Structure 1
Amino acid sequence: MDNNLNSIVINNSDTIVKDWLEQVSKNRKNDYTSTISEELFESTNRQFVNVIFSSLEKQGISTELDDFSERLINLGWPLSYLTDGLQAFRRVTINFILSQSEQVDSEYLSEVLDMVDNWVDPIINQLVNEYSGSWEHIVSLQQVALQELSAPLIPVMENITVMPLIGTIDTERAKLIMENLLEGVIKHNAEVVLIDITGVPVVDTMVAHHIIQAAEAVRLIGSTCILVGIRPEIAQTIVNLGIDLGKFPTKSSLKKGFKTALELTNRRIVKSENSDEGIEKLLDSLDRE
């Protein structure tokens, strides 16, 4: 913005700020900020307009703008609050500049529009970049956390591990399950792996195919896979689809699968007055999980 227009805006900042605050408050009734407290909304608006004028005075992106956008990101405010606010500021500023001129021709109007755009657009671009970078970082962290939690292999006893599966299994997740399963079997020196599908809502041909592949891969490295948590409706679906799960043991519950795992590792439950109650509690807790 040239020096003349720049001076008009800065010298009349109080009036422009007042008009802008009225515009933003008017739009608040029906937008996402309606649930934010009045005190927080007003203080945030004041900070916002201050960093806008700071950018104008410095004729470029200010560090205050970076700090302000980072604060809003951490508070969870949407990017649209900033972009809408800047668009409102653009309109208020243009209207004010034009109101100060006795005669407005097309050339002057074009100059005002270009100058305001050249001032506001870099601020919008900077804010969008800040938010985009933050969102990408957050999504990346969430994806890593989800991958770590989506297919854990849990050692429950020497040579016996459990992989509880929860939610829908797609091709990408099936690949992750396979990788975690093979790495975990080797890491924990597992002879038996119990894959618990109690939390898998739907078992179709694709899901069954992925599970069979995982079990076959475990067999090839010298371990045994037991599929547990087969509910009646899943058993019926498997039969109707003609899926062959005969290559590895299947059990209806984790408790029954764990007993089989003990037998496969040459162990058995010995009942005694002291140990019987503890073993049953262990098996019951496994069944509930």
Structure 2
Amino acid sequence: MNKLIFEFIEANKLDILEEWIKTTKETADDRVVRVVSDQVFTSTSREFIDLIIANIKGLKEDYNTRLTDFAEKVVRLGWPLTFVTKGLHTFSTIVFHRMEESGIITKDNQLDIILEFDGWVTPITNEIVSIYSITWEKTVSLQKIALQELSAPLIPVFDKITVMPLVGTIDTERAKQIMENLLRGAVKHRSEVVLIDITGVPVVDTMVAHHIIQAADAVRLIGAKCMLCGIRPEIAQTIVSLGIDLNQFTTKNSLQKGIEAALELTNRKIVKVEGSK
């Protein structure tokens, strides 16, 4: 990089940082500024400027590590890629204008300095976009796995009795996850009775009912009984109007009733202890 640019940035780092933070805050999307405190915004901005200077100094190994760490940090903060790339453009613009005001950039050397700026900004922008994209894809992938695990958990509540509480819409991909978790969990916990609680499922249509019936059939094939809980009146009315046959397994209107029935199926019951309230 041009020695003039490098020396100017080094000598005016704090002033450039202050102007960069002020300009960025004024032009940034509200969601970028709103989600973090001023202290976090300032510290992250300082980290970004230090990162740019590390690139200018040619500290490649240190720069690559810090770039990856910075990308992971801004992804966690929820800052969009446009904010980061625009921030780099803002930085170069501030440096260029300040160099003009200082008389370092003249009509004679202006074209050469512009070419130097372009030769520096373009590669670092490409690197930031690449690392940010990779980090974002990795984060989304991990979040997707976590959501899949949480979307259909099989929970042991008593010996040989497990419950799968379902919340939200059930699509084909989620139905597959439900089936896999049911079978794996029923074998793992040695379940004799598996309760599928649909209290939190807003709509039960033909497709949802079909997936639930398939799951119940699969559970029976491994030697466990399946019970459907959380049949609200509106859900019952929908099932009847659609002509869906749920007679092949027991249904209950609440999870409590389902657990009581499951205990009876495993030769147990809940009793009230004398003297208890």
> Do the structures match in fold with TM over 0.5?
yes
Match of 1:244 in 2: 245
Distance change (3 Å), C-alpha of 1:200 and 1:28: same
Q: Distance in 1 between matches of 2:239 and 2:202?
A: 13
Q: Distance in 2 between matches of 1:145 and 1:48?
A: 30
Deviations 1:236-280 (A, max 9, x none): 111121211111111111222223223333x1437xxxx4249x9
Match of 2:73 in 1: 74
Match of 1:258 in 2: 259
Q: CA deviation at 1:120?
A: 1.3
Tell me which amino acid in the other structure corresponds to 1:176: Q
User: 1:192 touches 1:261 (CA, 8 Å); kept in 2?
Assistant: yes
Q: CA deviation at 1:132?
A: 2.6
Match of 1:124 in 2: 125
Match of 2:91 in 1: 89
Secondary structure (helix, strand or coil) at the match of 1:276 reads: coil
Q: Distance in 2 between matches of 1:210 and 1:199?
A: 16
Secondary structure (helix, strand or coil) at the match of 1:242 reads: coil
Distance change (3 Å), C-alpha of 1:18 and 1:116: same
Tell me which amino acid in the other structure corresponds to 1:213: Q
Matched, 1:12 2:8: yes
Q: CA deviation at 1:21?
A: 4.2
Q: Distance in 2 between matches of 1:135 and 1:70?
A: 12
Q: CA deviation at 1:220?
A: 2.2
Q: Which of the pair has more CA radius of gyration?
A: 1
Q: Distance in 2 between matches of 1:222 and 1:24?
A: 64
Q: Distance in 1 between matches of 2:256 and 2:107?
A: 87
Distance change (3 Å), C-alpha of 1:43 and 1:236: closer
Q: Distance in 2 between matches of 1:194 and 1:50?
A: 56
Q: Distance in 1 between matches of 2:192 and 2:265?
A: 8
Deviations 1:104-155 (A, max 9, x none): 59xx63x544432221122222222332333233223322222222212222
Distance change (3 Å), C-alpha of 1:96 and 1:61: farther
Distance change (3 Å), C-alpha of 1:252 and 1:30: same
User: 1:52 touches 1:65 (CA, 8 Å); kept in 2?
Assistant: no
Consecutive unaligned residues in structure 1, runs of 5 or more: 282-289
Match of 2:22 in 1: 25
Tell me which amino acid in the other structure corresponds to 1:7: K
Distance change (3 Å), C-alpha of 1:220 and 1:122: same
Q: Distance in 1 between matches of 2:47 and 2:156?
A: 53
Match of 1:201 in 2: 202
Tell me which amino acid in the other structure corresponds to 2:272: D
Matched, 1:276 2:272: yes
Secondary structure (helix, strand or coil) at the match of 1:29 reads: helix
Q: CA deviation at 1:192?
A: 1.6
Deviations 1:40-79 (A, max 9, x none): 5455444433432332232x74614642662574364424
Match of 2:52 in 1: 52
Consecutive unaligned residues in structure 2, runs of 5 or more: none
Q: Distance in 2 between matches of 1:48 and 1:167?
A: 40
Range with greater deviation from structure 2 (87-96 or 38-47):
38-47
Q: TM-score, normalised by structure 1?
A: 0.77
Secondary structure (helix, strand or coil) at the match of 1:203 reads: coil
Tell me which amino acid in the other structure corresponds to 1:262: L
User: 2:183 touches 2:219 (CA, 8 Å); kept in 1?
Assistant: yes
Identity of aligned residues (%): 49
Tell me which amino acid in the other structure corresponds to 1:182: L
Secondary structure (helix, strand or coil) at the match of 2:227 reads: strand
User: 1:151 touches 1:177 (CA, 8 Å); kept in 2?
Assistant: yes
Distance change (3 Å), C-alpha of 1:155 and 1:20: closer
